[in-house]
């Protein structure tokens, strides 16, 4: 969408020169979901920062020994690592239902680990895709699934896709008798400066001639059971650590992986002597819904990650 140059006339905008860009449909959906997250969910968060020196070295060996033409990315490896942690703590892969007025709640522990993963598909467009049944996938299968999503995203008209997502959500809200919500959404989406422009006519027919196997569909962007985001892949050279991230209801956990950072670390020698040496640490931020769990619920997840980073050779069996 084009930007409009403007000059403020009143309030804080008075005499300020700025460019205004209205939200596209994807940004509207993200803004709505994240605002809902902070309105409804009491977040508890922590940073897990393992010594990943041996883990990174083992990853280099894994890449060197892999099949020709199959580039196992570090992102795929970290997804698999987090999935192994979730398999050790299945109660974290869940949906929460809670009524504020009555204080009644329930937690549905889900067998399928469907990963919601933010994915940068092109400049200015980041979408959250759904990688399904990752609990049954090998590392290579996860890597192939991510690569296939990127391939299909290149053929996808994102505004058309998210228009379909919004329409489907509206139909589900109507079944729940949320008539006023749907009316407001339809008015905002079809009237005025913020209206959505889905494909029509010849362009729409040509687009839907693309097989679903070659473009993203609603099932590819529907919400998963847990969100895992690799912020380190976006800011590769920055020593950043996420402190807070949104839990997307009804999920109960969100995970963010930063990039590895070199810091002084304590190393134990063969005889038990300890020295300080440069080590690579990998910050992993985790947020949990405090309505669902206390911190002790995270212990099996952390223990499994401890096990993996202490003996990273396990990745060759994945």
Q: What is the pLDDT of residue 180?
A: 64
Is pLDDT of 188 > 60?
Answer: no
Q: What is the pLDDT of residue 35?
A: 86
pLDDT digits (tens, 9 = 90+) for 215-240: 999 999 888 999 999 887 776 677 77
Mean pLDDT, rounded, of the chain: 86
pTM of the full structure:
0.85
**Whole-angstrom distance, CA of residue 141 vs CA of residue 270:** 38
pLDDT digits (tens, 9 = 90+) for 89-144: 999 999 999 988 888 989 999 999 999 998 877 666 778 899 999 999 999 999 99
Task: Determine how many CB atoms are found less than 10 A away from the CB of residue 94.
Answer: 20
Positive or negative torsion for Cα 298, 299, 305, 306: positive
**Stretch among 10-14, 20-24, 181-185, 298-302 having the lowest mean pLDDT:** 181-185
64-72 contacts at long range (C-beta below 8 A, 24 or more positions apart): 65/316, 70/140, 70/143, 70/144, 71/143, 72/139, 72/140, 72/143
Q: What is the pLDDT of residue 269?
A: 77
Selected residue with higher pLDDT from 171 and 47: 47
**Whole-angstrom distance, CA of residue 34 vs CA of residue 246:** 6
Selected residue with higher pLDDT from 253 and 181: 253
- What residue ranges define each of the domains in the chain, with the CATH number in brackets? 42-137+221-317 (3.30.559.10)
Nearest to 94 by CA among 251, 302, 229: 251
Nearest to 48 by CA among 298, 279, 245: 298
Is the N-terminal amide bond of 250 cis, ω within 30° of 0?
yes
Is pLDDT of 275 > 60?
Answer: yes
């Amino acid at each position: 969408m084009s930007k409009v140059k403007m000059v403020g006339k009143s309030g804080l905008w008075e005499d300020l020169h700025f460019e205004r860009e209205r939200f596209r449909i994807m940004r509207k959906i993200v803004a709505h979901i994240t605002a809902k997250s902070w309105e409804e969910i009491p977040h508890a968060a922590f940073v897990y920062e393992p010594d990943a020196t041996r883990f990174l070295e083992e990853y280099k060996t894994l890449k060197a020994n892999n099949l020709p033409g199959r580039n196992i990315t570090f992102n795929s490896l970290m997804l698999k690592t987090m999935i192994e942690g979730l398999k050790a703590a299945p109660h974290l892969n869940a949906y929460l239902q809670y009524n504020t007025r009555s204080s009644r709640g329930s937690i549905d522990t889900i067998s399928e680990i469907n990963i919601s993963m933010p994915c940068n598909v092109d400049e200015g467009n980041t979408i959250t895709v759904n990688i399904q049944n990752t609990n049954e996938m090998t590392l290579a299968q996860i890597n192939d699934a991510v690569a296939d999503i990127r391939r299909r995203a290149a053929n996808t008209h994102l505004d058309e896709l998210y228009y379909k997502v919004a329409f489907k959500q509206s139909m589900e809200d109507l079944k729940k008798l949320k008539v006023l919500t749907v009316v407001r959404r339809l008015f905002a989406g079809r009237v005025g400066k913020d209206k959505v422009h889905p494909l029509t006519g010849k362009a729409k027919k040509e687009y839907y001639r693309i097989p679903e196997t070659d473009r993203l569909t609603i099932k590819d962007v529907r919400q998963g059971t847990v969100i895992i985001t690799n912020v380190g892949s976006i800011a590769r050279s920055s020593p950043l650590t996420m402190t807070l991230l949104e839990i997307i209801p009804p999920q109960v956990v969100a995970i963010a992986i930063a990039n590895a950072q070199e810091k002084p670390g304590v190393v134990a020698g063969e005889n038990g002597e300890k020295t300080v040496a440069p080590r690579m640490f990998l910050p992993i931020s985790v947020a949990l819904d405090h309505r669902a769990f206390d911190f002790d619920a995270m212990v099996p997840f952390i223990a499994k990650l401890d096990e993996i980073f202490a003996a990273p050779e396990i990745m060759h069996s994945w």
